[in-house]
Structure 1
Amino acid sequence: MRDLVYYVAVSLDGYIAAPDGNFDAFPVEGDHMPVLLSEFTDAVPAHILSAIGMDAPLDRFDTVIQGWNSYAVALAEGIERPYAHLREYVATRTHKDATVDVTFTADALETVRELKQEQGKDIYLCGGGDLAGVLLPEIDRLILKRNPLVLGDGIRLFGHMAATTVNFDLERCRSFDSGVIVEEYRRSDR
């Protein structure tokens, strides 16, 4: 069975973006970047891969799911398939006009359960926080790029979900001179 992997940048105080959805505060330069680019190439948007002359090896992920607000960031830039190298799913209950090769789903939890039963690589949960909260029952792994900054407010790592306890085991933790710490967790009950 495939894993659902929530791979995301997060602030010290648990936010994945500012209140307006902006994530420009997270550093895109530093000694952590070559490592992330080499190990998580599949999670880099296609237009960025093209700009830096890289191809996605598809050795980690072959499918991505993201919420409408995350997808809308790419649409605002005229990019209809931000992860053209992956099968793309967008969780939305209100938008119905999917583009070619992007599947919209109103039931993200059921869609992920079906995808996990298929053969293939892992599934990349791109965001956002509210979708991560909905999909928490199916998240197998967390890979947090913890950044050395405090946002104070914004989009929480798991959105506005009800109080719950889900345990994860730390598998690996790497710190970089940039101050970024990459924490890799696996769900304890799996």
Structure 2
Amino acid sequence: MRNVILQEWVTIDGYAAGPNGELDFFPAPELSKDSDEDIFGFMDNIDTILLGAVTYHMFADYWPQATTDMEIIADRLNSTLKFVFSRTLKQAPWGKWQPATVISADAVEAVRDLKQQPGKDMVLWGSISLAQSLMKADLIDEYHLRVCPSVLGTGKALFPSELARPQMKPIDTRTYESGVILLRYESV
């Protein structure tokens, strides 16, 4: 069975976005080279990217035009199969690359089905609402949290109080030059 790996950038106080969805707590790109190299290597283990509609729009505005001299993972990310979960989108173009497939059916059931198909693992980037739905359904197999050296005080929590606390076992921890700390956990 394929795993679903949630990779999320969060603040020290657990927010995945500011109150209005802002992501200005990420480290400056010039400080992220070592973290980007880890993500590049991680992509050997996946063949599918899962996105919600909001994250799809953010990604589609940037990644299809990105090149490897700008972002080491650009070609890998752009050529990887993508599914966008949305009840409003009809199509999800990706520049010159293969478009993402839009799934308007129930995301939990669709991901359950995808997990049963042959292939490598799947990664869910961003997409807080989708991530929380999959957490509630116990469909997240690993959590890769990139903790940024920032505190927001308010915003969109990755683990809101109404969400049952996931049971996790630590796998790995890494510290990057930017001050970001990668915390990897598997669900138990």
TM-score by length of structure 1 reads 0.79
Cα RMSD over matched residues? 2.5
Q: Distance in 1 between matches of 2:143 and 2:53?
A: 21
Answer whether contact 1:2 1:119 (CA < 8 A) is retained. yes
Instruction: State how 1:23-62 maps to structure 2 within 5 Å.
Output: 23-27=23-27, 28-30=29-31, 33-41=32-40, 58-62=43-47
Please report how far the alpha carbon of residue 41 of structure 1 lies from its aligned counterpart in structure 2 after TM superposition.
1.5
The farther-off stretch of 98-107 and 14-23 is 98-107
Please report how far the alpha carbon of residue 187 of structure 1 lies from its aligned counterpart in structure 2 after TM superposition.
0.4
For residue 2 of structure 2, what is the aligned residue in structure 1?
A: 2
For residue 20 of structure 2, what is the aligned residue in structure 1?
A: 20
Are residue 125 (structure 1) and residue 124 (structure 2) matched?
yes
For residue 97 of structure 1, what is the aligned residue in structure 2?
A: 91
Closer, same or farther in 2 for the Cα pair 1:95/1:164, shift >3 Å?
same
Answer whether contact 2:63 2:78 (CA < 8 A) is retained. no
Please report how far the alpha carbon of residue 63 of structure 1 lies from its aligned counterpart in structure 2 after TM superposition.
0.3
For residue 70 of structure 2, what is the aligned residue in structure 1?
A: none
Q: Distance in 2 between matches of 1:35 and 1:112?
A: 31
For residue 183 of structure 1, what is the aligned residue in structure 2?
A: 183
For residue 71 of structure 2, what is the aligned residue in structure 1?
A: none
TM-score by length of structure 2 reads 0.79
| Runs of 4+, deviation exceeding 6 Å | none
Structure 2 counterpart SS, 1:120: coil
Please report how far the alpha carbon of residue 79 of structure 1 lies from its aligned counterpart in structure 2 after TM superposition.
4.6
Question: Which runs of 5 or more residues in structure 2 are unaligned?
Answer: 67-73
Q: Distance in 2 between matches of 1:22 and 1:128?
A: 13
Q: Distance in 1 between matches of 2:177 and 2:14?
A: 21
Question: Which runs of 5 or more residues in structure 1 are unaligned?
Answer: 44-57
Please report how far the alpha carbon of residue 177 of structure 1 lies from its aligned counterpart in structure 2 after TM superposition.
4.3
Aligned length: 171
Q: Percent identity?
A: 33
Q: Distance in 2 between matches of 1:135 and 1:126?
A: 12
Q: Distance in 2 between matches of 1:13 and 1:85?
A: 34
Structure 2 counterpart SS, 1:6: strand
Please report how far the alpha carbon of residue 130 of structure 1 lies from its aligned counterpart in structure 2 after TM superposition.
1.0
Closer, same or farther in 2 for the Cα pair 1:124/1:94, shift >3 Å?
same
